[in-house]
């Protein structure tokens, strides 16, 4: 388990950026450790994204502006 996500429950579909088949992976987009007025904290921002482009994983293959499927 990474973050609060179960690896077995990741969404499958297509990368919204490049159109390739993808299974989502959890990625932390947080800034990590920081200090604010003497208080040490860690900021986490976990999201499920495609492993290739770190974009959303969508159910249908995305189409470009010309109406053609991406990733061809």
pLDDT in tens, 2-41: 456 666 678 899 999 999 999 999 999 999 999 999 999 9
- The CB density around residue 18, as the number of other CB atoms within 10 Å, is 14
Indicate the pTM of the whole model: 0.69
Low-confidence winner among 6-10, 35-39, 57-61, 67-71 (lowest mean pLDDT) = 67-71
pLDDT in tens, 33-55: 999 999 999 999 999 999 999 99
The answer to whether 47 and 4 are in contact (CB under 8 A) is no
- Distance in angstroms (rounded) separating the CA atoms of residues 23 and 16: 12
The answer to whether 25 and 46 are in contact (CB under 8 A) is no
Domain ranges of the chain: 7-58
């Amino acid at each position: 388990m990474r973050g609060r996500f179960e690896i077995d429950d990741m969404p499958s579909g297509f990368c919204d950026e490049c159109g390739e088949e993808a299974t989502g992976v959890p990625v932390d987009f947080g800034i990590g450790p920081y200090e604010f007025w003497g208080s040490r904290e860690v900021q986490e921002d976990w999201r499920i994204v495609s492993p290739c482009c770190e974009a959303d994983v969508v159910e249908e293959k995305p189409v470009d502006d010309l109406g053609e499927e991406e990733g061809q």
